[in-house]
Amino acid sequence: LNTLKDRARVLCYAGTTNERAQETLDVTLNELKNFGLDITENELQRCKARAKSSLIMQEESTMARAGSMVRDWFHLGEIKTLDEVRQKVDSLTIDDLTRYAEEHSAEKFQVLTIGPEPLDVHGEVDISDL
């Protein structure tokens, strides 16, 4: 996941066999289409744990913290302390994430597949920009 001020991108990679390539693409596109709409408590807790471990790593690396501060300044116009970020992570709920996903649904996908046969995106993806 990469974010900018006015957009974000999610890059996916799936290694599969030629026989299962279409199924793999279908499942991946379905997951992206429903991204954030059916989060479980277990998934939320795992995500929070990962975010907190990243914060711990930032505390131990000057370069990582500097990068985080630059991203905060660019995206938010202010620099958040690690405690502020930690509190924000701790306060997130499934409802918060679901509401955000509903308000910021993915509308266009660009798909690139590599393999011996072309795959069908079933009209689920706007490929006009490809």
Question: CA 66, 72, 76: angle at the middle one, nearest 5?
Answer: 160
- Does residue 9 belong to any structural domain of this protein? yes
130 residues of the chain, pLDDT tens digit each: 455 666 667 788 899 999 999 999 999 888 888 877 888 999 999 999 999 998 888 888 899 889 888 988 988 889 988 899 899 999 999 999 888 888 877 777 788 888 999 999 875 555 444 3
Alpha carbons within 13 A on the beta-carbon side of 122: 10
- Does residue 127 belong to any structural domain of this protein? no
Helices 41-60 and 82-91 cross at an angle (nearest 10°) of: 170
- Does residue 109 belong to any structural domain of this protein? no
- Does residue 97 belong to any structural domain of this protein? yes
71: CATH: 3.30.830.10
- Does residue 113 belong to any structural domain of this protein? no
In the numeric block, which tokens belong to residue 108? 């266009």
Instruction: Give the integer Cα–Cα distance in Å for 109 and 125.
Output: 5
Query: Domain total for the chain?
Result: 1
pLDDT of residue 103: 82
Kindly give the residue spans of alpha helices, DSSP state H, lying in 1-130. 21-33, 41-60, 62-76, 82-91, 94-103
* Overall pTM > 0.85: no
- Does residue 115 belong to any structural domain of this protein? no
- Does residue 71 belong to any structural domain of this protein? yes
Q: Whole domain around residue 41: which residue ranges? A: 2-103
pLDDT of residue 4: 62
Query: Which of 40, 46, 26, 37 minimizes the C-alpha distance to 125?
Result: 26
- Does residue 12 belong to any structural domain of this protein? yes
